Every structure is written in structure tokens, then in C-alpha cells.
Amino acid sequence: MREPIIKGEPGVDPGEPRGRQEGRKIDPVDEKLRPQSLAEVIGQRSVAERLEIALSASRKRGEPLPHILFDGPPGLGKTTFATVLHNELGVELNMTSGPALSKNADVMPYLTNAVEGSILFIDEIHRLPATVEEFIYPVMEDFRVDIVLGEGMNARTINLPLKRFTIIGATTRSGMLSGPLRDRFHMHEHLEFYDVEDLSRIITINSVKLRTTITEDAAWELARRSRGTPRLANARLRWVRDFATARSDGQITLPVARDALAMQEVDEEGMDKQDRRYLETLIKVFRGGPTGAEALSATMNVAVDTLTDEVEPYLLRRHFIVRTPRGRRATVEAYRHLGMPEPMPEINLLDPQRRLFE
């Protein structure tokens, strides 16, 4: 396994948006659990198959991989796929993130130092400022940067040729990416939430890596309550493993897994306190909505990005909320899940046959 070369502050995870980046160290256990080859990647089969084709073509032609954009909620494998591609090709990997590249001078060293065929991974690429984005267009198209020297009448542009390399972008918000930037990626891969079976396999494999034993039904229970997200499945597994060591003989059985999750206040659906607080705020304060993410964020005192990137995608997928042109709205399932009385359907006076509330 090759170590990725991570530029920027050593030991700081470049995958975190600025603000959450400071002080957050790369966790060696997380790195140990990360698949290193395509064969080790679980699920996302169609994505993996298309990457296999790209890898094979790149090997046969002796050319760099095409530029690839991964999008999807956090923790679904965007960084993992970039790491796997670098291992499969045996090329250098440099990692940075949109918020770390605030001006052209920040991105320049990554471009000029890139060796033939290497990979530059830019996490949270939707946060690149427009000027930096435009600066990398010619890089992505023709492997050159255009540097403007002087000002006004005396200004002239110098074209600096670069080595041919690959940019892999990752984003939790593909909608925020500008059209021209999106178009410069040759492959767009959307990562979906994982099903329980795949998460259960990930948990079982990782329990071996963590030298712990887990029964089949306990692995299934953890998988079922990990909101379709491998990163969360790993975090739950690590907590349950600590709990099993502290409270019993270290074996993760179904009762141990259930007790450990109850202690973490993870409910039957895998929702944690923050997910439930979101639904409670939407229902109790905003009478079920519709309301905007900013209003929820201000009321909950939680960053709007945290709500839109980390909390809402799974609530949407579980149909606990819906998005309408006027904002988020709680569904009947959300009321049921929280054990709250369902609202009376409002009657549309113009058309009494139609209920306004779904």
C-alpha cells in the first residue's frame, strides 16, 4: 500500500471543510479500515465497474486517468475511491480541498509539482473560489496554466506547460458546482447510500481488521442502524467494540450491540440525537414546515452546511422529510417515528377532495 502525499498542514485531514479542519487529525484506525484496492471495495458496483474500465484503458494506453468527479453525502467513499485508484495505478496522490485553495498561488505548487500520470484529489471542490476555478480550466483541458504578467497595456500571458495528470474532485453538493467546471470532468460518479447487506459485509471485514469478533446478527443490527453510511458503520463498530471490551468479554453479540447503541442514544432507525432534534424542531417549532434550512439552522444553533450535508440527505432518503419549493416539510413517517400525534389533514376549501398534507 502506498502512502498518499498529503500537502498542507501535516496530519490534518484535508477532507474537512475549513472551520472543522483545524485540529482534526487523520485517524490511523480510519485509514486502516479504508479499502486499498478495487477488489476490497464493497458495494457501489456500477461505479467500481466503470472505474475498472477507465483503469484498464489508462494502463493499456499508458495515459493518465480521465478527470473524475465524485459526488454524494459524506462518508460514502469519495476519498476511498481516489485512494484506491492511486493504489491500483501505483501513481502519486496529492490531496487538498477547495477551502484550502483560496487563491491561484495556493493551487500553483500542486500543478507544477504534479508528475506524469499522478492524481490530484480536491475535496469539497464546490468551495473553490471562481478565480481559482477559472485558473484550472486550461489545466484540465490542455495541461497548461496561463499566467498573466504585468498590468493594463503591458499585460501579457505566458503559457506554462504541465505534466499530464488527473484531477479527482469530490463534492457533497454537485448542484453548487459551476457548469463549466462540471463539464471539464470526463467521468461523473454519484455515490448512493449503501444497503444493509453491503454495510454488514463492511462491518464483518472491519471487525477482523480490528481484531474483534462479531456475530452475524450483531453485524446486521449495526449495519441496519448506520444510516447507509460506511463511515458511520465504522464509527458504530468501534464504539460497540469498546463497549464489549469494557462491559463484557469483548465479543460483540446482538444484546451487546443493542446496549451499546442505546447508550449512544442511537434509535431503532439509526438516528442519533441530532437527527431527532432536527425533526423535533421542524415539527414543534415550525409546525412541520415548510421551512428553510437557514431558519432550522438558526433555531438549532447548528451550521447550515452540517444540516444540508450531513443530516438531511438520509432523512430525505428515509422519507422523513420532503423538499418543496417553499422549504423542508416533515412527513407523516417523521411524526410516527417520534411518536408524535399526526397533524389533522388540512382541507383544501377550493377542492375538498384534495388533502394539503401528504
Which residues contact ligand ADP by CB under 6 A?
A: 15, 30, 33-35, 41-44, 74-80, 170, 202, 230-231, 234
* Least gap, CB of 83 to ligand ADP (angstroms): 7
Q: 79, 83, 229, 308: which one is catalytic?
A: 79
Q: Which residue of the set 171, 172, 229, 308 is catalytic?
A: 172
Note if 212 is an active site residue.
Answer: no
Nearer to ligand ADP, 51 or 282 (CB): 51
CA atoms of 39 and 6, how far apart (whole Å): 24
CA dist list (Å): 174 to 20, 101, 152, 233: 20, 18, 36, 24
> How far apart are CB 81 and ligand ADP at their closest, in Å?
7
123 flagged as catalytic? yes
Annotation says 78 is catalytic? yes
Catalytic residue among 34, 80, 83, 123: 123
Q: Which is nearer to ligand ADP, 15 or 17 (CB)?
A: 15
Catalytic residue, chosen from 78, 227, 236, 328, is 78
Active site residue 7: no
244 HSE (CA, 13 A, CB side): 23
In angstroms, the CA 23 to CA 189 distance is 30
Measured from the CB atom, the residue of 204 and 281 that comes closer to ligand ADP is 204
Q: Which residue has the cell 441496519?
A: 224
Query: Could you identify the residue written with the cell 473524475?
Result: 68
Contact between 36 and 90 (Cβ < 8 Å): no
Smallest distance, ligand ADP to C-beta of residue 65, A:
17
Looking at the Cβ atoms of 202 and 330, the one nearer to ligand ADP is: 202
Q: Using CB atoms, what's the residue nearest to ligand ADP?
A: 77
Residues ≥6 apart with Cβ < 8 Å to 281: 296, 299, 300
| Residue tagged active-site, from 231, 318, 328, 329 | 231
Nearer to ligand ADP, 75 or 313 (CB): 75
* Helices 230-247, 196-209: crossing angle, 10 deg rounding: 50
For the CB of residue 226, give the shortest distance to ligand ADP in the complex, in Å: 10
- Closest approach, Cβ 325 to ligand ADP, in A, equals 29
Does residue 231 have an active-site annotation?
yes
Q: CB-wise, 170 or 311, nearer to ligand ADP?
A: 170
Nearest distance, CB of residue 288 and ligand ADP, angstroms: 31
Q: Which is nearer to ligand ADP, 144 or 182 (CB)?
A: 182
Shortest spacing between CB 79 and ligand ADP, in angstroms: 3
What residues are annotated to the active site? 78-79, 123, 172, 231
